[in-house]
Amino acid sequence: MIGLTLVAFATSLPELAVSSIASFNNAEGIAIGNVIGSNVANICLVLGIAALIMNLKTTKETRRDAIFMAAVTFMLFGVIAFDGVVNRYDAAFFLAVYVFFIFYLYRTHRENAEIEAEGGSYIREIAFVFTGAAAVVIGAHFLVESGVGIAELLGISDLVIGLTMVALGTSLPELASSVAAALKKKHGIAIGNVVGSNIINILLVLGVAGAINPISAGDTLRLTMPFLILVSVIASVMSSRKIGKKEGAFLLALYVIFLIILFL
């Protein structure tokens, strides 16, 4: 549960900040491209590299959560295919599903949870949280501005920038935490971080961004959504057994194909 909730939420903060700021600034291509691109990068790049480092053992909970991730991805595709827009009603639905999912996890794992109370002051910890959050917001602002500028300079869609450069940037925390978990043989965190982050990106990040401003899905996104569905299903199938070096190499190859599709 740690990988699926706490670690995944922490590593998804850059996506949340970037997509929210992009939506507020009407850079909808970056707002939604960041979510889709980050999810593809998490599965293909992050999980692929982690699997190359260490064979990742899966559990019953991992398989269940991976299937839910694929279901959430199908749900997003349905929303986009219906009218090509993530409006505020869609955003409210995503956020409601996210709240339900967190409540479900809490009820499922509450019996096994052990809460340890520690004495002392939490002022330093709270200060770290606010300082880190402020740094993420500031960095997200500059990342969005840079993304828009690069798109204009190169004469390409900001959606493509969101799907690639911005998504890679916001996926770095997932890469760092999953690689660190793989090196420490904490397979549950390595996989759960990817699965949890992808669920959070669609339900919470896109939910908040869509609530700020309705987001239109461009033609490029309609081409990349089926690819995201494909890799999500592949990840769900892989979660039924060990994810080893062969599977990791295959996922990395899929990411190269994804980039080729975008720039053809």
pLDDT at residue 120, rounded to an integer: 47
Answer yes or no: is 237 within a domain. Answer: yes
| Burial class of residue 150 (count of CB atoms within 10 Å of its CB; 0-12, 13-18, 19+) | middle
Average pLDDT score, the chain: 83
pLDDT at residue 5, rounded to an integer: 61
For range 49-74, the mean pLDDT: 86
Number of structural domains in the chain = 1
State the pTM of this model: 0.87
Range of the domain at 28: 3-108+158-263
Query: Tens digit of pLDDT for each residue in 10-53?
Result: 778 889 999 999 999 998 889 999 999 999 999 999 999 999 99
Which residues have C-beta within 8 Å of that of residue 261, sequence separation ≥ 6? 223, 224, 227
Q: What is the CATH number of the domain that holds 12?
A: 1.20.1420.30
pLDDT at residue 222, rounded to an integer: 67
How far apart CA 30 and CA 151 sit, in angstroms, is: 10
Residues 95 and 211: beta-carbon distance below 8 Å = yes
Structure confidence at residue 67 as a pLDDT band (50, 70, 90): confident
